[in-house]
Structure 1
Amino acid sequence: MRAETSVAPALSAVAPARRWARERLVEAGVEPSRLEVLVLLVSELVTNAVAHADPPVVLRVDVDDVRTRIEVTDGAREEPVLRNPPPTALGGRGVMFIDRLSSSWGTAVEEDGVAVKAVWFELRHDHVPADLARFVREP
């Protein structure tokens, strides 16, 4: 299953994007134990895109037999920065969550007439990230 939607370049668009992604993931049959992790990471990825990038912002969901891939494209070239903020910091954890909770992640720059940056992550269906293993019960 593949789907995509445009996301308004505003923080108020994060919740609707998260709901849209949840609906697509449920339609694709993603297990509940992975669904919540994916929705959290979608929220982080979309928040970073609308807060730090240039429009247009597009959210893509791709689910196959092996993994779920989420991708957000935007018009900025600046790549996300992996930080390890102190516990007292109010932000800066989005990419850290993606790094720790996904199976893999990365960025790419596409140039089909217009420069577009893609930030993506994948969660393999057979993978439970070490940071979540103690919280997730396998069926």
Structure 2
Amino acid sequence: MYAETAVSPSLSAIAPARHWARDRLSEAGVDDGRLELLVLLVSELVTNAVAHADPPVTLRVHVDDERTRVEVTDGVREVPVVRNPPPTAFGGRGVMFVDRLSSSWGTVEEDGDAAKAVWFELRHDDVSELGGFSTER
């Protein structure tokens, strides 16, 4: 399954993007254990794109037999970095969550209006039968 949608470059677009992704992932047969983790990580990528980048912002979801891949494109070439904010910080943990909870992640340059895509993948075998994420890579 492959699907994509345009995301408004506004913080108010985060919840609708999250709901759109949940619906597409559910339609693709993603189970509850993976679904919750994927929706969390989608939310982090979309939040970064609408808070720190320029339009156009596009959310892409691709599910196959081996893994789920999510990409968010935006109009800025600057790539996100993993930060380790102090416990008192209000933000700055999104990329850290993506780094620690996904099977892999990265960025690629895009052609056309978008400058880059930030992506993550979750291999289906990285999630146990109980729905928990395996920390082994």
- The answer, yes or no, to whether TM exceeds 0.5 is yes
Distance 1:26 1:115, change over 3 A: closer
Identity of aligned residues (%): 74
Distance 1:22 1:115, change over 3 A: closer
Classify the secondary structure of the residue corresponding to 2:29: coil
Q: What is the distance in 2 between the residues matched to 1:115 and 1:126?
A: 32
Q: Aligned residues, how many? A: 134
Distance 1:76 1:20, change over 3 A: same
- TM-score relative to the length of structure 1: 0.90
Q: Tell whether 2:117 aligns with 1:121.
A: no
Q: What is the distance in 1 between the residues matched to 2:88 and 2:133?
A: 30
Unaligned runs of 5+ in 1: none
Unaligned runs of 5+ in 2: none
2:104 corresponds to? 104
Q: Is the 8 A contact 2:106 2:120 kept in 1?
A: yes
Runs (4 or more) in structure 1 with deviation over 3 Å come to none
1:1-139 equivalences under 5 Å are 1-112=1-112, 114=113, 116-128=115-127, 136=132
- TM-score relative to the length of structure 2: 0.92
Q: What is the distance in 2 between the residues matched to 1:105 and 1:49?
A: 15
Distance 1:137 1:70, change over 3 A: closer
> CA shift at 1:81, angstroms?
1.2
> CA shift at 1:128, angstroms?
3.2
Cα deviations by residue, 1:6-54 (Å, 9 ceiling, x for unpaired): 0000000000000000000000000110100000000000000000011
